[in-house]
Amino acid sequence: MEDEKISLRISREELLALDLYLAKHPEKGSRSHFIKNVIRECLDRDAQAGSEEIEERRAEASNDIVVKLPPYLRASVDALAQTLYNSPEEYIRELVRRDLDADGQKAKDVRDRAIFVATSEIGL
């Protein structure tokens, strides 16, 4: 694939700020290399956000719950799931099931609260 050449107009202040940044971060390469990488990162981030939105919509349609975990927690869940469970999802389901079933009363209380809230909202 052949690269295309474009022109970019930015203010002197922006250019000075870019040059100062690149002087402090030589690993970022030239102006051109840096700008190309920033554009690529922005497009990749947008594509990732779009795929997350699609996953959330798919989960809503299938009655799944999506839980976003920070990387360190996700790594722990994955490690435990590999040794004890068939998948991270199965491990999370077991944790929720254990918490709700630890005391039969806890699950009953949760259901009763949900029913109370639902009937309160419709005025019963």
| pLDDT tier, 1 (very low <50, low <70, confident <90, very high otherwise) | low
Residue type, 114: A
Give the per-residue pLDDT at 4.
Answer: 84
d(CA 115, CA 18): 58
**44, 36, 43, 40: which is closest to 5 by C-alpha?**
36
Calculate the CA 109 to chain-centre distance: 31
Render pLDDT for 49-99 as a digit per residue (tens, 0 to 9): 677 777 777 766 676 777 788 888 888 888 887 877 788 888 888 888 777
Tokens of 71: 């990387």
Report yes or no: 66 and 59 within 8 Å, Cβ to Cβ.
Answer: yes
Instruction: Give me the residue spans of the domains in the chain.
Output: 10-65, 67-124
